[in-house]
A = this chain, B = another copy of it.
Amino acid sequence: MKKFAIAIHGGAGTILRSSMTPEKELQYTKGLEEAILAGELVLSKGGNAIDAVETAIRSLEDNPLFNAGRGAVFNHEGKNEMDASIMEGKTLLAGAVTGIKNIKNPITLARTVMDKSEHVFLSGLGAMEFAEKMKLEFANDEYFFVQLRYDQLLQAQKSDTILLDHNEIYTPANSRKGTVGCVALDLFGNLAAGTSTGGMTNKKYGRVGDSPMIGAGTYANNKTCAVSCTGHGEYFIRSVVAYDISCLMEYKGFSLKEACDLVVYKKLVDIRGEGGLIALDSNGNIELPYNSEGMYRAKKSSDSPLYIGIYKD
């Protein structure tokens, strides 16, 4: 029986019920629902996993609530600097961008790098030059101006530290998370994964996190799984998290759940790497593990109903 499946995340971190209003919770829930249904529609109509991933992530990027695209946080210079990556499990083709500005949908630029360039990973002004040549949609600074994000920057600059992506309450310990991502399985048995982020509030030095790094933040392989990560990027890079899940399945014969549990609840916890991930195998099994207080997440498949979660269950 052919089946499809999709999962998304909108970032992990200290997301506490006590600091959320019912209105805000409803907005997040609606944002997650809109994004996953947009991706699901692609799959249910017989579309490709890679298109579903791009579609769902575009929806999250267009939503100012999430730290990616329009809702990207401000860096130290008061700019919205973004990263994204995408990978196709059938061909192992991939595309990624880092340090880009004024691109409306970074995930589409990553997709275009994959489809139209001979490269995998483009950065900074060069990546934007490529975007211009490929006629990608640009947006001005006003589009990316979200008052909450700017207030977060001012708050972070005052204390000279970096700030949590989606928390309104300033908590320096949770200042490096905030990402959106999607994994999908289409009716043809193909997997795909993508991740997009605005990085860290008040970030300096052109810091690159795990989100644009194939193997760390994003990985897809039809033989094993599709993975998109969110969390304290430095730990996810050093642990090569997304590919680690795949290797545990391919080389050690672990199930998706066993691989996710080991990496998120043991290996990352041991090195204090806070965050989570969404993962999907070629049988349509979905895992949404996280070791932080919460993770914006949703899943749906051809034989299971929509699930949306924010806090610890």
Q: Are B120 and A237 in contact (CB under 8 A)?
A: yes
CA distance A93 to B235 in the complex (A): 9
Task: Indicate if A269 sits at the interface (CB-CB under 8 A).
Answer: no
Known: A92-B271, A129-B204, A214-B216. A234 touches B118 (CB 8 A): yes
Q: Are A215 and B234 in contact (CB under 8 A)?
A: no
CA distance A236 to B310 in the complex (A): 36
- In the complex, which residues 210-261 of chain A have their Cβ closer than 8 Å to any Cβ of chain B? 213-216, 219, 233-234, 237-240, 243-244, 247-248, 251-252
Q: Which chain B residue shows the least CB distance to A118?
A: B234
Residues of chain B with a CB closer than 8 A to A219's CB = 240
Q: Are B216 and A122 in contact (CB under 8 A)?
A: no
Task: Indicate if A296 sits at the interface (CB-CB under 8 A).
Answer: no
CA distance A123 to B64 in the complex (A): 26
Q: Are A120 and B234 in contact (CB under 8 A)?
A: yes
Q: Which chain B residue shows the least CB distance to A236?
A: B120
Q: Are B215 and A125 in contact (CB under 8 A)?
A: no
- In the complex, which residues 85-112 of chain A have their Cβ closer than 8 Å to any Cβ of chain B? 87, 92-94, 96, 98-99
Interface string of A288-307 (1 = CB under 8 A from B): 00000000000000000000
Task: Indicate if A36 sits at the interface (CB-CB under 8 A).
Answer: no
A246 to chain B, nearest CB (A): 9
Partner of A122, one of B93, B118, B130, B208: B208
CA distance A204 to B118 in the complex (A): 11
Which of A93, A205, A207, A234: most chain B Cβ within 10 A? Answer: A205
Task: Indicate if A126 sits at the interface (CB-CB under 8 A).
Answer: yes
CA distance A204 to B122 in the complex (A): 9
Q: Which chain B residue shows the least CB distance to A271?
A: B92
Residues of chain B with a CB closer than 8 A to A206's CB = 99, 122-127, 129
CA distance A209 to B214 in the complex (A): 11
CA distance A182 to B215 in the complex (A): 22
Q: Which chain B residue shows the least CB distance to A248?
A: B251
Task: Indicate if A171 sits at the interface (CB-CB under 8 A).
Answer: no
CA distance A252 to B252 in the complex (A): 6
Q: Are A98 and B215 in contact (CB under 8 A)?
A: no
Q: Are B92 and A234 in contact (CB under 8 A)?
A: no
A135 to chain B, nearest CB (A): 15
CA distance A252 to B248 in the complex (A): 9
Task: Indicate if A119 sits at the interface (CB-CB under 8 A).
Answer: yes
Residue contacts A-B, CB under 8 angstroms, 8 given: A99-B206, A119-B207, A122-B206, A123-B123, A123-B206, A129-B205, A215-B216, A240-B240
Starting from the known contacts A124-B206, A129-B205, A214-B238, 13 additional A-B residue pairs (CB-CB under 8 Å) come to A87-B238, A99-B206, A119-B234, A120-B234, A121-B209, A121-B237, A123-B124, A123-B207, A129-B204, A130-B204, A214-B216, A240-B243, A243-B244
Interface residues in chain A, defined as those with a beta carbon under 8 Å from any beta carbon in chain B: 87, 92-94, 96, 98-99, 117-127, 129-130, 204-209, 213-216, 219, 233-234, 237-240, 243-244, 247-248, 251-252, 271
